[in-house]
Structure 1
Amino acid sequence: MRSVVSPVGLARKQLERRLAPLRKMPEFARPARGWIKAMREALGMTATQLGGRIGVSQSRIARIEKDEAEDAVTLATLRRVAEGLDCTLVYALVPNEPLDEMLKARARAQADAQLKRTHHSMRLENQALDKRDLEAERERLAMEILVGDPRRLWDAP
């Protein structure tokens, strides 16, 4: 039987290839005082000077830096300030684990929920599966869930 890779699966693999290196780079975590202030100070630029470059006051720059440190700054503002600092804004959502692993874990959780109901009934009838058979059924069911529409993974528990 030939394996057919879906367009969604291909897109996920391409995205994973791009994201994998970022997952290994914790040094890109935002500095405590924020990237704006860190870059501005590293360049020896005052808040007044940065404000002049993007057409806002020194007090607005102070507010933007405070907002960034408090996770309240907008992407549009970050982009504008980055340009004023002659920087490029890089924005990404980096999953904590590979995308395929996230999907498998979600499918296993759904399989566990389904098996819990079935296995409970089987135990009551003294037909419970042993641990090895239960694990094999869990994996079979999880793979069956994964083959279907991935949107189903996010509906239930």
Structure 2
Amino acid sequence: MPDFIQRRRLARILDRAAARLTDVEMPEKGWIATMRLALGMSAEQVALRKGVSRNAVYQAERSEKDGAVSLKQMENLAKAMGGRFVYAIVPDEPVEQLKYKQARRNAKRAAGEDPGFATLPKEDQQDWIDDMAAQQLHDMPSDFWAD
């Protein structure tokens, strides 16, 4: 498991990538067909460059739309059309926010399991949850992401 500084560096990489890819959506026809059509290439021409049949290109286009195309196929087809395939998993919101939300869920769950929690004044309950969430973020226990 990476240490705190490594986790922060990795989080910044993901957050920057997410910011750059915010508006990227798959075209209606899929990336393979869109690139091929934009270039004015036939499936036959792509197939010749890739060393496969025309039907294999059409099948890859259909598979992409179904979410069943392989990463290797995408990479090879992109290269055959003079492009490159980019693959990424990016967070829906900043990594630190995802971690904070999980820490708060964990703290609220722990509050429900602590018999003395309900007897605390309301403002102390909030402080208890905030402190527990901060402790969770600091310690990152092995069960941090357990639901």
CA shift digits 1:88-123 (9 cap, x unpaired):
1111111101001101111111111000121xx337
Equivalent residues in 2 for 1:130-145, closer than 5 Å? 130-145=121-136
- Structure 1's 21 and 115: CA in aligned 2 closer, same or farther, altered over 3 A? same
TM-score of the superposed pair, with normalisation by structure 2: 0.89
Structure 1 distance, partners of 2:45, 2:141, is: 50
Which one-letter code corresponds to 2:90 in the other structure? V
Q: CA deviation at 1:6?
A: 2.8
Unaligned runs of 5+ in 2: none
Query: In 2, are the aligned partners of 1:12 and 1:99 still within 8 Å (CA)?
Result: no
Q: CA deviation at 1:62?
A: 0.5
TM-score of the superposed pair, with normalisation by structure 1: 0.84
- Structure 1's 77 and 150: CA in aligned 2 closer, same or farther, altered over 3 A? farther
CA shift digits 1:117-152 (9 cap, x unpaired):
21xx337xxx62233221111110000011113543
Aligned residue for 1:152, secondary structure, equals coil
Structure 1 distance, partners of 2:141, 2:85, is: 31
- Structure 1's 15 and 48: CA in aligned 2 closer, same or farther, altered over 3 A? same
Aligned to 2:139: 148
Give aligned-pair identity as a percent. 29
Matched, 1:49 2:45: yes
Q: CA deviation at 1:9?
A: 3.3
Query: In 1, are the aligned partners of 2:15 and 2:90 still within 8 Å (CA)?
Result: no
Aligned residue for 2:119, secondary structure, equals coil
**RMSD, aligned α-carbons:** 1.9
Aligned residue for 2:27, secondary structure, equals coil
More displaced 10-residue stretch of structure 1: 132-141 or 77-86 = 132-141
Structure 2 distance, partners of 1:16, 1:56, is: 36
Aligned counterpart in structure 2 of residue 114 of structure 1, from 105, 110, 122: 110
- Structure 1's 53 and 43: CA in aligned 2 closer, same or farther, altered over 3 A? same
Equivalent residues in 2 for 1:87-102, closer than 5 Å? 87-102=83-98
Query: In 1, are the aligned partners of 2:15 and 2:91 still within 8 Å (CA)?
Result: no
Q: Aligned residues, how many?
A: 145
Unaligned runs of 5+ in 1: none
